[in-house]
Amino acid sequence: MDKPDPSASPAPGLAPRDVSLVIVGAMIAIFLAALDQTIVATALPSIARDLGDVALLSWVVTAYMVTSICATAVAGKLSDVHGRRRLMLAALAIFVLASVFCALAESMPALIAARALKGVGGGALVTLAQTIVADVVSPRERGRYAAHFSGMWAIASLLGPTIGGALTQYVGWHWIFWINLPLGLVALVAVDSVLRKLPVRAAPGRIDAPSMALLPLATTAMLFALSWGGVRHPWLSLPVLGAASLALIAGWMFWRRQHGLDEPVFAPGFLADPVVGRVLPAMFFGFGAYLALAITLPVFLQVVLRQSPGDAGLLMIPLTFSTTITAYWSGRFLRRTGNYRRPPLLGFPLAAASALIFAVFVDHATPWSTALLMLGIGLGIGPIFPTAIVAAQNAVAPRDIGAVTGAVGYARSLGGAVGAAAATALVLALVPRGGELRGLDDLVRAQLGTAERAMVAGAYRWLFVAIAIMIFVGWAMYSRVVALPLRTQPAMGGGQGQPASGASPSGASRDGQ
């Protein structure tokens, strides 16, 4: 890992060694959260065999996803008010404790409840890790660390199924949860002593409790509507329309409450900001397209190209690692030039063109041509990840660093969830037997003839057109991001920005609590 640049201004009270320790702890936290999203997948059959209630099995994944998205949005703002150390300790404690509950679960409802609790800790860890790095590293230096986080996420995503499968096979599925204990303790030790040295606000404000309830309610209801529509229920059915209506009402009430609050969870000024207000939709559409592809492509490889699950997993590697490569390059470019606009503006067109080429030639796709086009899409989408977070953090005042980090993380997570749900619904709506299928896994297990596989390929043609459109929208939004000079001071070093919430910065103490 790169060492902090000695020419850059450090956070007050922190030596270069302290900064390195914070980075290590933050990367472990990111690794924990990312690993937990994929390590469970290969253990699900064993979990179902031991705990029963197979009808509830999908909730082991869904419960974590829903609560982690909600926690991502609010953890940053809570840390702005109550201090990074408190929130980081709480997030790690929740994550580790929930891991114990998961390992000890003796019924499917108990496991689902523990997974939901774990999602709260996991979502908070992602936001807090990026926020803490912003406290101790200047925006000019921050890009390369954001790229490290992208690489850590990619490695965890690849290792997760392998580790989960090995642990399940040789020692039992409970150990996919026990493994989090030593990793969580290492992260805790790495960051705790250093976080004590970071200043926090002297007079913590109060977070609006209704806002904290309305945002998760709106998010959860929207995810239910998207996951149910066209799969479990018709789009115009009462459950789907009811969930969508609840999402709209709760979302409207949440937005109304943010105006006039001293400590809004999502500052209304964010959307009006010429940087943050355009970074958020760009991240939403960019990651939405990426996850839509990552979720649906293995099914294409297995059903249309007749690849085994193992070979399909290997063919996904170009997408994952190409994203990491350009994320890392963009972080280095950002440090060298201070330009956070150019890498995504060059990358998005490459990704959109690769998706359109795939759509045109889908009937003639081969495993190698598919891998090559996935390489192009990954190379094109990768730059948005480090540049977007740095651009948004650089645009706001230090007091809003946590809130804006949470907002970017929320846009990313929500875009991924919406993109994956919409892509799944689109494929199932266009394939034969669509009304009989409740998910893409059913499509893999179905006995499809040559003509039916050709129809599946036709469905993927439209999916890749939709993905190209999403990428283009992300490019259009990012092209309107205003270029600001990157600060050379970390957030805790007195760097200035624009207070998007409209509130003046508060004083700080040095108690670290």
Q: What is the CATH number of the domain that holds 332?
A: 1.20.1250.20
Evaluated on CA atoms 378, 384, 386, 387, the torsion sign reads positive
Shared domain for 59 and 190, answered yes or no, is: yes
Quick one: pLDDT band at residue 355, thresholds 50, 70, 90? very high
Shared domain for 402 and 378, answered yes or no, is: yes
- Asked if residue 156 belongs to a domain, the reply is yes
Q: Which domain holds residue 57?
A: 9-197
Total tally of structural domains belonging to the chain: 3
Average pLDDT over residues 456-473: 94
Lowest-confidence segment of 194-203, 264-273, 322-331, 468-477 by average pLDDT: 194-203
Shared domain for 247 and 220, answered yes or no, is: yes
**Does position 500 have pLDDT exceeding 60, yes or no?**
no
Average pLDDT over residues 436-441: 66
User: How far is it, in rounded angstroms, from Cα 461 to Cα 427?
Assistant: 10
User: How far is it, in rounded angstroms, from Cα 95 to Cα 7?
Assistant: 36
User: Both tokens of residue 459?
Assistant: 């469905």
**Does position 509 have pLDDT exceeding 50, yes or no?**
no
- Asked if residue 466 belongs to a domain, the reply is yes
Shared domain for 186 and 330, answered yes or no, is: no
Shared domain for 175 and 215, answered yes or no, is: no
Quick one: pLDDT band at residue 473, thresholds 50, 70, 90? very high
Shared domain for 178 and 95, answered yes or no, is: yes
Q: What is the pLDDT of residues 181-217, one digit of tens each?
A: 888 888 777 777 767 766 655 445 677 788 888 988 9
**pTM of the entire predicted model:** 0.85
User: How far is it, in rounded angstroms, from Cα 165 to Cα 242?
Assistant: 38
Q: What is the pLDDT of residues 122-177, one digit of tens each?
A: 999 989 988 888 888 888 788 777 777 777 777 777 777 778 878 888 888 889 89
Side chain identity, residue 424: T
List the one residue out of 249, 247, 280 whose CA is nearest residue 421. Answer: 247
Shared domain for 296 and 182, answered yes or no, is: no
- Asked if residue 420 belongs to a domain, the reply is yes
Shared domain for 148 and 292, answered yes or no, is: no
